[in-house]
Structure 1
């Protein structure tokens, strides 16, 4: 059944109907915030933060952001670039000596145009799974095994977690501090994102308050469980020390502060932000739909959108910013569901926000 939305009050009602319906049918477990010019139009928490204790989520629960973290890593590079400590055209070996691939620049890492092989496949093949890997291990495995590059730099776009791990290493090398501390000192603290941190739960063996544990569906057991309990998800343990491509953990309110800061020059100049939100031209002069840590699209109905999704066992996340209308949608889920449903939910919210007919996913 299609429904139509108009005023902000009606949009609130429709958003409430959408998410309560999904939650009642156990089709959504997580936290939601929709902003209109920075003001929460709708905010909700649905379902469980921890199944074993039947602890419920609340709107201050802390979630793993997965690849939504990439925007923070990119911001770290942009901050160092404005300080004159990095040039986007610097090659990787400028910062990481003996890097085994030539002619790859910081820009190529930011825009997923490096052609670098996927580190997860490399670790699946070669890594001692009794050990938890950290970022330096990614670099050492690339040096040791030298898997073939997928294409020449800037030849095409191919999403690369490897690139963002290397960006975190570069931030550490240039700043002289850990990636986690740099994020805290240069981004989270200045923006008063008090509950946000770079958090490797299994690697550090530390717990934090009000944490939303991520659950996956164990079909053979007929229930949801932590990925740690499943042999085919053991990579969540042995890759848990890796940063840059994920592992920023945050809350709805802190992500609201992040969104608002990106309309200002609190962290970097507007010119720098504009570059981050602009597609790059590939070698064949075709535009990519990715900037620096953000996907980019232009829609005749909603204008310019910069967004990013994230997925890691137990977590699905999305942050969409509708720049021409100053609207924002923050989606944090800690219960595995298929990607099609997530996309259908995002589309339904977008249609509500822009007064278009929408459908509650079946």
Structure 2
């Protein structure tokens, strides 16, 4: 019986190991359908289950000129995934009693046109109707200028609104720039300092930064575009332009720390966390699928929280499945490669494997 038990146990261990290897191989294969240039820029991906990574790999180069490989610890610009941090910063200030999301923005920015009709909630949920500055032709005139938050808000605030606040959902970068400005006005700190002190340092995100091309950043992944003749370095922009709508940098490991901190109420209590991840309704009563800084969706019928990002030279995507505590993140250091669908596909595969 003792020998039989040992053989059975060995077979179980081998079977489990083979299954794990098969799962890993499938993930590798899926990623390499898009990220298949060994000597070009690539991407980094992570799957976490119950707060711990079960898969972390990088493909391609972090720096083409120096022939440096990407690593799972590489630091990427995360584009619009920045909006998660801006939204949580607003909710931290609400929890501190320094603002209320149902207040009009005119309380903080006195001269904002129609500011008495636009609430912080409208900005958080992309239902404000204000003009998205990324769609303005004059953007090229300021793209490389150092802009203060007030200058950014002044750049678009007098543009005609696209619709009445609350009338529809329309993804909007300007709204999140206004939120960053409000964070500065209410807290008395710069956005960069507020995010660093109240989020990065509190969570232990030592590989996360407000983006800079001048600062020496350890393990930085450099960004690229692909042209007909090959890869070129990313277009230079001033990070003060995307500001609180898209100017943060992070790594896979730090994004997992972020997700775990949200789950464990390190930054917000349960009541305010619930508000972040709720769906809301338009003036008509129609529900839409965006909370505060996250798309509230589902993956094959299972509720999920998702958000991607795109900024010159970089793309990002994150999918979290609350019921199974599965978190999948994908980064790319070339805007020629999108991790969006691949990250969702990986999350679907992980969900299939681990669903209770």
TM-score range, shorter chain: 0.7 to 0.9
- CA separation of 1:130/1:7 partners in 2, compared to 1, >3 Å: closer, same or farther? closer
Q: Deviations over 1:153-184 (max 9, x none)?
A: 00000001000011001001100011011001
Aligned to 1:206: 215
Residue 120 (structure 1) aligned to one of 97, 116, 134: 134
Residue 59 (structure 2) aligned to one of 18, 25, 46: 46
- CA separation of 1:129/1:174 partners in 2, compared to 1, >3 Å: closer, same or farther? closer
Give distance in 1, aligned partners of 2:143 and 2:243: 18
Which runs of structure 2 are paired with 1:7-26 in the superposition (5 Å)?
Answer: 8=20, 10-20=22-32, 22-24=34-36
Matched, 1:248 2:248: yes
Are the aligned partners of 2:34 and 2:337 in contact in 1 as well (CA < 8 Å)? no
The number of aligned residues is 334
Which runs of structure 2 are paired with 1:295-334 in the superposition (5 Å)?
Answer: 295-299=295-299, 301=300, 303-334=302-333
Give distance in 1, aligned partners of 2:333 and 2:143: 25
Question: Tell me, what secondary structure is at the counterpart of 1:324?
Answer: helix
Give distance in 2, aligned partners of 1:322 and 1:130: 38
Give distance in 2, aligned partners of 1:316 and 1:156: 26
- CA separation of 1:128/1:79 partners in 2, compared to 1, >3 Å: closer, same or farther? closer
Give distance in 1, aligned partners of 2:95 and 2:20: 39
Residue 166 (structure 1) aligned to one of 178, 184, 189: 178
Which runs of structure 2 are paired with 1:172-183 in the superposition (5 Å)?
Answer: 172-183=184-195
Q: Which runs of 5+ in 1 are unaligned?
A: 1-5, 229-235, 357-362
- How much has 1:297 moved relative to structure 2? 1.1
Are the aligned partners of 2:326 and 2:347 in contact in 1 as well (CA < 8 Å)? no
Question: Tell me, what secondary structure is at the counterpart of 1:190?
Answer: helix
TM normalised by structure 1 equals 0.86
What is the root-mean-square deviation in Å for CA atoms of aligned residues? Answer: 2.2
Matched, 1:35 2:37: no
Q: Which stretch has the larger CA shift, 280-289 or 131-140? A: 131-140
- CA separation of 1:140/1:25 partners in 2, compared to 1, >3 Å: closer, same or farther? closer
Give distance in 2, aligned partners of 1:198 and 1:7: 40
Aligned to 2:263: 263
Larger radius of gyration: 2
Aligned to 1:223: 230
Give distance in 1, aligned partners of 2:127 and 2:35: 39
- CA separation of 1:351/1:244 partners in 2, compared to 1, >3 Å: closer, same or farther? same
Are the aligned partners of 2:98 and 2:186 in contact in 1 as well (CA < 8 Å)? yes
Question: Tell me, what secondary structure is at the counterpart of 1:89?
Answer: coil
Residue 190 (structure 1) aligned to one of 202, 205, 208: 202
Aligned to 1:63: 76
Give distance in 2, aligned partners of 1:346 and 1:240: 29
TM normalised by structure 2 equals 0.87
Aligned to 1:147: 159
Aligned to 1:94: 107
Question: Tell me, what secondary structure is at the counterpart of 1:97?
Answer: coil
- How much has 1:321 moved relative to structure 2? 0.4
